Amino acid sequence: MTDDVEFRLGLIGDGIGRSSAPRLHELAGRIAGHSVSYVRFDLDGRRDTTFEDTLAQCAADGLAGVNVTHPYKERAARLVPIQDPRVQRIGAINTVLFRDGKAVAGHNTDHSGFVAAYRRKMADGLPGPVALVGAGGVGRPIAVGLGELGAKEIRVYDIDAARADRLASDLTTEAVPVRACADIADALDGCAGIVNATPIGMYRYPGNPVPGTIMGEPRWVFDAVYTPRDTEFTIEAGRRGAEVISGYELFFHQGVDAFRLFTGLSVHEASLREALEQPEG
């Protein structure tokens, strides 16, 4: 590591070899006039370390912070101080700040990133009743975001029924009821929007979490998967006339928000979008 790097950052997760997060943060640093390094810490299949040990080592090594991705977001929330009551309610974090060799603050930019992604595509349009497929570390912040956007109801389905029950119990409000569904067809029945908050569709887990035979004709869909940018789910939904919000938008907005938390710097978003669209190399 060279001495002239001003901000040392990283990403902890499983199967993150193709993540574009390093490129986003390093380009953001360049645009903002500062040097940034961003390293992947891929724990997939490793037995010589744990998430907890890796997080502590990143802090001890002097990184300014790390992003946390699948499957460690809820685990991280149990380890790191969280000041924001909304993030405490979410119970999952994807951004950890370090100071003096310790984790000092946890944030969730998946929440803010999703809200920004939805508004960029749908403006002030209300989500209506929404089927949320996946109740884990990305499903929880999206559920909170849907509530803030004015969803009429959230029906959550997860292959782990207990996890869906926990999300519904933790996040339902008088304004926006959250209901755990025993099967995906129940969640989809009459919904205006569908959210995929599972890894299904990414390059390591190909497939469609919402079978076309029961997808219906949603008004809009969102896929948290962004590699690939076009998934089987979004392609099928687009064929059915749905407005498609790409997971790339969540990736972009959560990254911009995390960069600001890590560095205290703002980045010109149009310039960053343009830079990210350029071929690597």
**pLDDT tens digit sequence for 13-46:** 999 999 999 999 999 999 999 999 999 999 999 9
Q: What pTM value is reported for the model?
A: 0.94
In order of their start, the domains of the chain are 7-107+254-277 (3.40.50.10860), 111-245 (3.40.50.720)
Residue-averaged pLDDT of the chain: 96
H-run or E-run covering 155? strand 153-157
**120 pLDDT exceeds 60?**
yes
Comparing CA positions, the residue from 153, 154, 170 lying closest to residue 162 is 170
Helix then strand then coil, in percent of the chain rounded to 5, is 40, 20, 40
**Whether the Cβ atoms of residue 15 and residue 263 lie closer than 8 Å to each other:** no
Q: In what order do the strands lie in the sheet with 153-157?
A: 178-180, 153-157, 129-133, 193-196, 220-223, 243-245
Active site residue 102: no
Q: What's the rounded Cα separation, in Å, for the pair 151 and 171?
A: 13
What pLDDT is recorded for position 197? 98
Q: What's the rounded Cα separation, in Å, for the pair 23 and 33?
A: 15
Tokens representing residue 102 in the block? 């310790």
Q: What is the dihedral of CA 83, 86, 87, 90, to 10 degrees?
A: 150
What pLDDT digit, counting tens, does each position of 85-113 carry?
999 999 999 999 999 999 999 999 999 99
DSSP assignments along 101-113, one per residue? TEEEEEE-HHHHH
Residue 36: phi, psi to the nearest 5? -135, 135
Question: Which among 73, 102, 121, 152 is annotated as catalytic?
Answer: 73
Name the β-bridge partners of 7: 36
**In 206-262, beta strands by DSSP E:** 220-223, 243-245
